[in-house]
Amino acid sequence: MTANLREIKVFTTFPHRCSYLPEKEATTLFVDPRQNVTPELYTELSLMGFRRSGDHIYRPHCHSCNACIAARVPVNDFSLSRSQKRVLNANSDLRVGVSSSVDDDEAYSLYARYISEKHADGDMFPPDREQYESFLNNSLGCTQYFRLYDDEKLVCVAVSDQMLDGLAAIYTFYDPGCDKRSLGTFAVLLQIAHAQRLNLPYVYLGYWVEGCRKMNYKTRFKPLETHRDGRWHGSNSEVTSTLSPIPLVNVYDGDSD
């Protein structure tokens, strides 16, 4: 830990209902929102298991539970499963653009439908434009928004921060009518391909929560490294092959603003 990290102020929330395990109480540790977060600091905090949500950088700090475990994919060791290869093939017709903002009606309409149809039981329901813009903003100046189009129709947006050692997959929302495409999986594969293209070693997937069904998909990206007891640990699964950059077509198709 650098001297600068030791000087950073952090705050904790009061205990509140856990959004992952409803029978549990959660406490969250936040970096002082007045702190100037440079790319170097953001990367160091991520290495310590922190995560960004809107203007806040946080990590779980629960006294009676340690179920939330930061997870990342070492992209040079990543190996596609058979089902992931099928996902790539199923989405090879999509056009992918990159924008620096999602403050537009097209993206918000997709988000509102996604929340209403997929997460009506969650904390973000009902969808709200102000909360949406606060949650998915580019507050650190390092966020890119991958937009996936079926012809001219926007079907998915993947929000991704670029740090010094990789990408942080912040959030993905998509058209609920496209469930058969497995767009959540495709969005992670897209970010792995982008990290490989940039020679960045990791894609951070946020927290994996054992016992939370909605988080199970993260274990399908192998090998998966997890942050426990203050350090990163490799996956116990064997890697059968080392993958060269994923052959996604049209990864860049201009800015779609």
pLDDT > 70: percent of the chain: 89
Confidence of residue 249 (pLDDT cuts 50, 70, 90): very low
Q: Is the pLDDT of residue 247 over 60?
A: no
Q: Is the pLDDT of residue 49 over 50?
A: yes
Q: Is the pLDDT of residue 180 over 70?
A: yes
Rg (CA), the chain: 18
Q: What is the mean pLDDT of residues 214-241?
A: 80
Q: Which of 55-59, 179-183, 246-250 has the weakest average pLDDT?
A: 246-250
Q: What is the pLDDT of residue 130?
A: 96
Domains of the chain: 3-66 (no CATH), 71-233 (3.40.630.30)
Q: Is the pLDDT of residue 121 over 70?
A: yes
Q: What is the mean pLDDT of residues 136-162?
A: 96
Q: Is the pLDDT of residue 239 over 50?
A: no
What rounded mean pLDDT belongs to the chain? 88
Angstrom distance (rounded) from CA 254 to CA 147: 11
Q: Is the pLDDT of residue 250 over 50?
A: no
CA 244, 191, 134 angle in degrees (round to 5)?
A: 170
Q: When comparing pLDDT for 216 and 109, which is higher?
A: 109
Contact 157, 115 (CB under 8 A): no
Q: What is the pLDDT of residue 184?
A: 96
B/e letters for 136-150, b = 16+ CB within 10 Å, e = fewer, are: beebbebbbbbbbbe
Q: When comparing pLDDT for 248 and 139, which is higher?
A: 139
Q: Is the pLDDT of residue 212 over 70?
A: yes
Q: What share of the chain is helix, strand, coil (3-state, %, to 5)?
A: 30, 30, 45
Q: Which of 7-16, 63-72, 175-184, 229-238 has the weakest average pLDDT?
A: 229-238
Q: What is the mean pLDDT of residues 68-78?
A: 95
